[in-house]
């Protein structure tokens, strides 16, 4: 999965990344679905061990443009995983209370504890993305945030958090199709906001801001992956694979049982 990993300080041009790529998997959508089901089962086992062992903490950051597939990723990658021990934290427009404080204040309290997987649906990265593109704070303010973020994530990693960050990369044509599907499908209309079109108009600025953020905050202990996401099945498969491989790498085990279990008689 190294092909999608962003190296620290690597120059990124998102125009040169193919959101339709499906190079890692030799197979079609149907085969992809079967493979994902296998990975779902493996993830279920690994998550149970993570929970039982109560040692590791796992943070997954999801960022994307509107309709980029954050919700679908959560639904499909974690399909079948026990909801105990997995939490989702969604970060929306900050409340007045949040805006009165530093931008990491609302983030830190949602970071995972031992035995937990936490998925960030949007994150502190909004504070160097939308905030930058819309000019909510001056350049002098958002520029220094890259260092804050690297330091914050280093602190989490040093204290035992495994961090994975995924940028779900779609192109503008794909976003148009997905917006149209939202408009045309009554039960999806709730997802559409007029403001989404404002962000769409700023697409190039967003891509520049993303490229910069990915390059400046991908580190050894908190790497970014650029996930080709025009094909939903491929996106799910790649993220699931990276997550399973990462959890396998933690060399987890179930805790030792209490002694003398073989002599226990249940009356
Ligand atoms: P959604 O995830 O589509 O439900 O929308 C959440 C909205 O909140 C998006 O438009 C984000 O850009 C916006 N948002 C999230 N965090 C921030 C932030 N720190 N500052 C401003 N807007 C934000
Ligand atoms: Mg939205």
Query: Mean pLDDT across the stretch 228-244?
Result: 98
Tell me what the pLDDT averaged over the chain comes to: 97
Centroid of ligand 1 to alpha carbon of 35 (angstroms): 33
Taken in order of first residue, the domains within the chain and their CATH numbers are 2-248 (3.40.50.300)
Q: How much is the pTM? A: 0.97
- 202 C-alpha vs ligand 1 centroid, how far in Å? 15
Q: Of the ligands numbered here, which is closest to the C-alpha atom of 62?
A: 1
Confidence of residue 254 (pLDDT cuts 50, 70, 90): very high
How does 60-72 read in b/e, with b if 16+ C-beta sit within 10 Å?
Answer: bbbbbbbbbbbeb
**Residue of 65, 122, 131 with the most ligand 1 atoms within 8 Å of its CB, for mutation:** 122
Residue nearest to atom 17 of ligand 1 (CA): 93
Task: Point out the ligand nearest to the CA of residue 133.
Answer: 1
- 260 has pLDDT over 90: yes
Examine the pLDDT at 1 and tell me if it is beyond 90.
no
pLDDT at 85 over 90: no
Which of 63, 92, 189 is the best mutation target for the ligand 1 pocket, counting ligand atoms within 8 Å of the beta carbon and taking the most? 92
Q: Does residue 53 register a pLDDT over 90?
A: yes
Q: Can you tell me which atom of ligand 1 is nearest the CA of 127?
A: 19
pLDDT bracket for residue 46 (50, 70, 90): very high
User: What lines the ligand 1 site, CB under 6 Å?
Assistant: 66, 91-94, 122, 126-127, 130-131
CA–centroid distance, residue 68 to ligand 2 (Å): 9
């Amino acid at each position: 999965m190294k092909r999608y990993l962003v190296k620290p300080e690597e120059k990124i041009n998102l125009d040169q990344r193919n959101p339709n790529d499906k190079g890692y998997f030799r197979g079609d959508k149907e085969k992809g679905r079967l493979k994902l089901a296998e990975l779902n089962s493996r993830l279920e086992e690994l998550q149970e061990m993570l929970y039982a062992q109560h040692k590791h903490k796992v943070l997954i950051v999801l960022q994307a443009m509107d309709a980029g597939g954050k919700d679908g990723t959560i639904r499909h990658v974690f399909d079948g995983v026990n909801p105990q021990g997995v939490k989702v934290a969604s970060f929306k427009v900050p409340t007045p209370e949040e805006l009165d404080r530093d931008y990491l204040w609302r983030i830190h309290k949602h970071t995972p504890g031992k035995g937990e997987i936490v998925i960030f649906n949007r994150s502190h990265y909004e504070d160097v993305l939308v905030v930058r593109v819309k000019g909510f704070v001056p350049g002098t303010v958002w520029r220094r945030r890259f260092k804050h973020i690297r330091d914050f994530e280093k602190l989490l990693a040093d204290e035992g958090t495994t961090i994975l960050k995924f940028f779900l990369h779609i192109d503008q044509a794909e976003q148009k199709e997905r917006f149209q599907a939202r408009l045309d499908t009554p039960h999806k209309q709730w997802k559409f906001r007029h403001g989404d079109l404002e962000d769409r108009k700023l697409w190039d600025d967003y891509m520049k801001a993303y490229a910069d953020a990915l390059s400046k905050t991908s580190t050894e202990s908190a790497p970014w992956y650029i996930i080709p996401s025009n094909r939903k099945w491929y996106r799910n498969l790649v993220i699931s694979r990276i997550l399973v491989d990462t959890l396998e790498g933690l060399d987890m085990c179930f805790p030792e049982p209490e002694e003398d279990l073989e002599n226990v008689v249940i009356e």
